[in-house]
Structure 1
């Protein structure tokens, strides 16, 4: 999962530094725990790997914004994907780009990473006894 989250961050234009490894590993653990707890499962299936990686990337970027905002200045949200359609799933990443500041766009982007896959998680959710 660490490798997927790292690749995801690189697609956003963030180059992972050696000093970022501990934070990314922690973000991956938190994302994996969130998925396992939400779905009441012990192992994360392959179908949820990309969603978990997105959640880890969102956790990482949120922490970076809070503690090291200069590190994320290189992320270009203008070049981010605005819309992805796969089957009946439609994901919009950049909304109202003309009226929002870059910080607001970043916050929306991180929120989408953190919660964008909740519908897919529902398919794997089990009842806890």
Structure 2
């Protein structure tokens, strides 16, 4: 999953730096544990892998935003969070020039990464006895 998370970050314009792999591994483990506990399964179901990747990216960006905001300055947020379309649902995060600051766009984007797809956990949930 580490390679998938790295590729996803690079698709947003983030260049992986020395020391990022340790943080990425922690974020991946955190997300995996969360999904496993929520679904009561021993491994991440195949149908949730892409959601887990986005959640790990969201965790990573949250840590970077908190502790090293200058390191994520290269993200292309104008493209990444302007509009998201899923099926017949269309979500527009920035409607017009200057309506949101770069930090607001980053926060909205991170929130999307951390929460999108959590409703799909129910498809894989097992009952605890």
Normalised TM-score (structure 2)? 0.89
Contact kept? 1:12, 1:76, Cα under 8 Å: yes
1:92 matched to 2:91? The reply is yes
CA distance in 1: counterparts of 2:69 and 2:47, whole angstroms: 32
CA distance in 1: counterparts of 2:114 and 2:31, whole angstroms: 9
Name the residue aligned to 2:51.
Answer: 51
SS of residue in 1 equivalent to 2:85: strand
Task: Give the superposition deviation at 1:93.
Answer: 6.4
Task: Give the superposition deviation at 1:91.
Answer: 6.1
Give the gaps of 5 or more residues in structure 1.
none
Name the residue aligned to 2:41.
Answer: 41
Task: Give the superposition deviation at 1:13.
Answer: 0.7
CA distance in 2: counterparts of 1:112 and 1:93, whole angstroms: 12
1:61 matched to 2:36? The reply is no
Name the residue aligned to 1:17.
Answer: 17
CA distance in 2: counterparts of 1:27 and 1:93, whole angstroms: 27
Task: Give the superposition deviation at 1:94.
Answer: 2.7
* Change in CA separation of 1:95 and 1:116 when aligned onto 2, cut-off 3 Å: farther
Deviations 1:67-120 (A, max 9, x none): 11000011011121522334x6x4636344642211011001001100111111
Normalised TM-score (structure 1)? 0.89
Aligned residue pair count: 127
* Change in CA separation of 1:94 and 1:26 when aligned onto 2, cut-off 3 Å: same
RMSD (Å) for aligned C-alpha atoms:
1.7
Name the residue aligned to 2:31.
Answer: 31
